[in-house]
Structure 1
Amino acid sequence: MRVGLLIITHRRIGSETLAAAERALGICPLQTRCLEVFNEDDRDELIARARRLLEELDSGAGVLILTDAYGATPSNIAVEAAAGRTSRVVSGINLPMLLCVFNYPSRWLAALAESAARGGRAGVVHIGQEEPKP
């Protein structure tokens, strides 16, 4: 049994990030679904859809939920849909985060969530140049 993966983001952020990760690795090692949130969507319907996706994705090992911006609608939907379920929510999805998750697909839910957070943070690097000296 492997952890399922649900990506909940504004518009196409999740599906495009997923597509980039699949192109980079050539595979999608976890059962994964995306839920895209648009401004005109009904919040209660989004929560219901998220709950249905969580049921579909949970094979017994739980579901990791990745969202884009902490405190925004996708993150709030994830937290509400995940209540009472075997799941973890990690916010701030980026390509390094998703690649890290896909590189360790056999990890348990808690370890996979920690890997996601660590991979996301490690992928944010300021690549600066020295200021020219007068």
Structure 2
Amino acid sequence: MAVGILLVTHEGIGSALRSVAERLLTPLPLRVEVFEVAFDADPDVALPSASAALRRADSGDGVLVLTDVFGATPANVASRLARLGTPIRRVSALNLPMLLRVLNYAELDLDALPAVAVAGGRNGVQLDDA
């Protein structure tokens, strides 16, 4: 078994990031599910569908939930997922380097992957003033 990944994002972001990751890393080394939240979504209404996505992502070792913007609706939905009993860890500010870094460390457990995600996201941001 392995940790699952759930991308909880605004519309269009999670599916685009997963699509690029699939293009670069075929097959994906971890299960990656996407739950995209409409801009006008009510978190309470979105929660059952997000919970179903969480269950699809979980193979028994927990789920790393990556959200796009801390404090926005997708992150608020993700915080509610943490109360449903499935072991999860959450990281916000999702970007492509973060996702790729996590997928390249597929052997790590749920407690180790959040730090890998943060390092990947941070190290992927570079000032390119050439």
**Shorter-chain TM band:** over 0.9
User: Secondary structure, in 3 states, of the residue corresponding to 2:111?
Assistant: helix
Correspondence 1:91 to 2:86: no
Q: Which residue of 1 aligns with 2:113?
A: 112
Query: Looking at CA atoms only, which structure, 1 or 2, has the larger radius of gyration?
Result: 1
* Deviation string, structure 1 residues 27-48 (Cα, Å, up to 9, x no partner): 2111111011112333222111
Q: Which residue of 1 aligns with 2:26?
A: 26
Q: Which residue of 1 aligns with 2:11?
A: 11
State the TM-score, normalized to the length of structure 1.
0.90
- Cα pair 2:46 2:77 within 8 Å, conserved: yes
- Work out the CA distance in 2 between the residues paired with 1:52 and 1:21: 22
* Aligned Cα root-mean-square deviation (Å): 1.3
- What stretches of structure 2 of length at least 5 have no aligned partner? none
Q: Which residue of 2 aligns with 1:125?
A: 126
Q: Which residue of 2 aligns with 1:61?
A: 61
Correspondence 1:75 to 2:75: yes
State the TM-score, normalized to the length of structure 2.
0.92
Structure 2 counterpart of 1:63, which letter? Answer: V
Greater Cα offset, 96-105 or 47-56? 47-56
Matched length = 129
Task: Compute the displacement of 1:26 (Å).
Answer: 2.4
* Deviation string, structure 1 residues 1-20 (Cα, Å, up to 9, x no partner): 10011101001111101111
- Work out the CA distance in 2 between the residues paired with 1:119 and 1:39: 27
Moved over 6 A (4+): none
1:39-50 aligned within 5 A: 39-50=39-50
- Work out the CA distance in 1 between the residues paired with 2:114 and 2:92: 10
Q: Which residue of 2 aligns with 1:132?
A: none
